Amino acid sequence: MRRSIVGFSLVLAVLAVPLRASADPAPTEFAPAPAEIHHEPLMAGIAISAATILRSGSDPVQWHPVHLQASPLGQDAFVTVGTGQTDAYGKVSVESPELNANTAFRWVFDGDGTYAAAVSQPWTELVEPVVQARVSDRTPHLGQRVVVRGRMTPARPGKRVSVWTGRRNCWCDMAIAIPAPKRLAAARIHPDGTYRLVIRFATTGRKLIHVHVARSEGLTFADSYNRHLRVR
């Protein structure tokens, strides 16, 4: 009988001990990878492959879903454009949709009972339009009318477009001996993204021309490839 009373008292003592509250989720953070940020504008229509690492202190957060969110310039809200799962090192990679405007990106981890939610610092990918250019005659005569046609993608109707002789505003032309740029003609982008310019040359010899589109809504400025002409 005494043994039963002692056992019953131990059970009551155990039940009287308050249960320990569950631990709070461990804090997490993103470690941006250098490959996320491109220092040069991307050509319109190209997708990026973004990567990051999710950690909790010095430990990787393994096998958890992470969202890549995007917000094109001019929009306030971020929307999820892709989701990936962290690997054994906490790394995750997600490919974005094709970009057609300057776009801000960020990483989002929703968290769970073990790890707290986290949102990375946003970064911006700049996008330049594709500018195509072709000429009606590559060997025109002196003073002959030469038509320069092409297309801007994505289209920005009404945006100013111009044709220049000389070097473009890029490192590839700065590194070689090309004369300073000089504008030959200007026009506006049509609703379908096309344009048409007319130029004439006052001197003979080899000429280097390109088409320039100014910075526009959600896009950086852009130049076409150089076109080589020989004026007779």
**Domain termination site, one of 127, 150, 168:** 127
The verdict on 123 and 30 lying in the same domain is: yes
CB contact at 8 A, 66 and 117: no
The verdict on 143 and 156 lying in the same domain is: yes
Residues 6+ apart with CB under 8 A from 208: 165, 166, 167, 178, 226, 227, 228, 229
- What pLDDT, on a 0 to 100 scale, did the predictor assign at position 104? 93
Mean pLDDT by 10 residues, the chain (232 residues): 43 38 82 62 93 95 97 90 97 95 95 96 93 97 97 95 84 63 95 97 94 92 94 96
The verdict on 197 and 217 lying in the same domain is: yes
Residue 29 in domain: yes
d(CA 157, CA 217): 11
User: The domain that contains 203 carries what CATH number?
Assistant: 2.60.40.730
Q: Which two tokens stand for residue 134?
A: 């072709």
- What pLDDT, on a 0 to 100 scale, did the predictor assign at position 3? 47
- What pLDDT, on a 0 to 100 scale, did the predictor assign at position 173? 57
Give which of 160, 139, 122 is closest to 230, Cα–Cα. 139
Q: How far is CA 73 from the centre of its chain?
A: 11
Residue 141 in domain: yes
pTM score, whole prediction: 0.79
Question: What domain range is 95 assigned to?
Answer: 25-127
